[in-house]
Amino acid sequence: MFPPGAAIVIVAARAGAEAIRMGADILRLERLSKKYGDTVVLDNVGFSVARNNVVGIVGENGAGKSTLFNIISGIVRPDRGRIEYQGAEIHPTNYREANLLGISRVFQEQALIPNIAVYENILLSHEGKFTRCGQILDRRRMIKTVQRIVDSMKLDIDVRRRTDEYDFSKRQSIEIARACVVPREVLSISAPLVLLDEPTSALEKSEEEALFRLILSIKEYGSVLFVSHRLGEVLTVCDLIHVLRDGRLVATVDPATTDEHTLHGLMVGRERDADYYHEEGQEPIVGRPVMLAVRGLSSPDHYQDVSLEVHEGEVFGIGGLLDSGKSQLGKGIAGLAPPATGTVRLGAERPGPPKFRSLIAQGFAYVPSERLAEGIIPPFSVAWNTSLAGAQDIFSNSLGFWRGAVEDSVTRRYIRELDVKAAGPQSACETLSGGNQQKVVLAKWLCRSPRAMILDNPTRGIDAGAKEEVYKLIRRITASGACIILITDELLELIGLSHRIAVMRGGRVTAVLDAPPENKPSEHELVALMLAA
């Protein structure tokens, strides 16, 4: 399975502490274990993080990465095990305690308060550092300090503006600034530990490059634990990589002598499918009827005069830079953010201005890019979230009484069919990994047997194995005759899955390319169209 010369060191969990170089480590983990009910999410995990190192953690969704980060950052208490930080055993009971020790974190899902200013978010819980006489908050000094922090990262951000005035990518940069710079600049911690959980999932290319420069600068005085499903990034930026599978530490590899193929094999215990995007399942659409027709859709400041047709069984991709308007267009077609002008027609229905509730009744579905903010309600159960879109017709009778047995049966069916790693229908969604949460979002709509779906970045923040499962599911959906509009920032995903690709620039569709399996457009071709003057 592994290429010759790959330096693979299979590490038993019980031997994790033996690999530690005494006196050279900022973090030392010994036999960490955690269970939720009967589900083991971490099983005797132990390793160390050397000072001035970037250490990668990779694994499929559900491998235990986020639980490990939750334990280190004080959000979750382990059932068993020991954490040593800066040479002393620690027992943080919440994130603030860990933060004051010098441990900070960028969360996989954004943890910002949207309706307060950027500077307030970045200094949240550290306001005591900016008081006069212990009582009067010196907001001017707070603003000056935070503006200096974001300027040092070369971010075009006015820290006095409300956080929700910035797009998802800029908000991600704000989170990174808070985790990476505040410990040293505000808390005066000389050697912090920064936990980065999928930090690049929503960044533009220039912002990614700025992050990697920042990581290198952190190495000069601190250390970084780096989780990413983009294995190329992990190999590029890390000094050492640990591989988790099913809650166990199964390998430690040297990034200088391994590759993505090897890492993927270690993560999933099998080879990656040679046809990762299941292009053999891309059936021709010539002669098939139009399932979704969009005419003259416009929304001031977002997109202008967009018209397109999507056929039965087609994956119609939409690509563009983050400011191209593609995600806003998706919400406009769905009627979630109604456009100023234009119509949408589904099947043989009469065209009209898009209204979300009416489109749902006709067989429309929308999967948002931010699953925790818009796709599910995390504290609620898998069953509750699965029935969310069908509460008014599938899961209640004509008198309005809830059909609990139907909800349970349907949820169990999709847990089985989508291989959702959950103890059962009543498991809280917040206890699931990102990939399994995304499967619940999809189940919520699949139980309605949709005829048309919009998928906005459906694989954001999930691992390679879970992505492949989603790609297989997309082919299964289109094989049933449904059509999909795929909006994604991942170019290879856009190319591999789509029958046709629309390129957006400045709110307009500037090109539509055919993408048959035997003649896919190149990344270079798409990027050139996205950047063309």
CA–CA separation, 382 and 398 (whole Å): 24
Q: Residue 231 sits in which domain range? A: 8-114+169-268
437 and 456 belong to one structural domain: no
340 and 405 belong to one structural domain: no
pLDDT value for 226: 92
101 and 212 belong to one structural domain: yes
pLDDT value for 68: 94
SS3 annotation, 253-295: ECHHHCCHHHHHHHHHCCCCCCCCCCHHHCCCCCCCCEEEEEE
Question: Over 50: is that where the pLDDT of 301 sits?
Answer: yes
Label residue 125 exposed, middle or buried (CB < 10 Å: 0-12, 13-18, 19+): exposed
Q: Could you read off the pLDDT of 16-37 as tens digits, one per residue?
A: 333 333 347 999 999 999 987 7
Question: Over 50: is that where the pLDDT of 15 sits?
Answer: no
Name the most confidently modeled range: 10-19, 60-69, 191-200, 446-455: 446-455
pLDDT value for 6: 36
Share of the chain above pLDDT 70, in %: 93
Rounded mean pLDDT of 286-293? 95
- Identify the band that residue 449 occupies on the pLDDT scale cut at 50, 70 and 90: very high
CA–CA separation, 14 and 135 (whole Å): 50
* Eight-state DSSP code of residue 390: G
Domain final position from 233, 268, 303: 268
Does some domain include residue 488?
yes
29 and 69 belong to one structural domain: yes
- Identify the band that residue 205 occupies on the pLDDT scale cut at 50, 70 and 90: low
Question: Over 90: is that where the pLDDT of 406 sits?
Answer: yes
Which CATH number is 522's domain given?
3.40.50.300
Does some domain include residue 463?
yes
Q: Could you read off the pLDDT of 110-161 as tens digits, one per residue?
A: 788 999 999 999 999 888 889 887 778 999 999 999 999 888 888 889 999 9
Tokens of 265: 């094999």
Q: Tell which residue, 379, 382, 383, has the closest CA to residue 430.
A: 379
Predicted TM-score (pTM) of this structure: 0.64
Domain final position from 268, 289, 311: 268
pLDDT value for 22: 38
Tokens of 399: 């008198």
Q: Could you read off the pLDDT of 320-362 as tens digits, one per residue?
A: 887 789 999 999 999 999 999 999 999 999 999 999 999 999 9
**Residue 387 or residue 391, greater confidence:** 387
* Eight-state DSSP code of residue 373: I
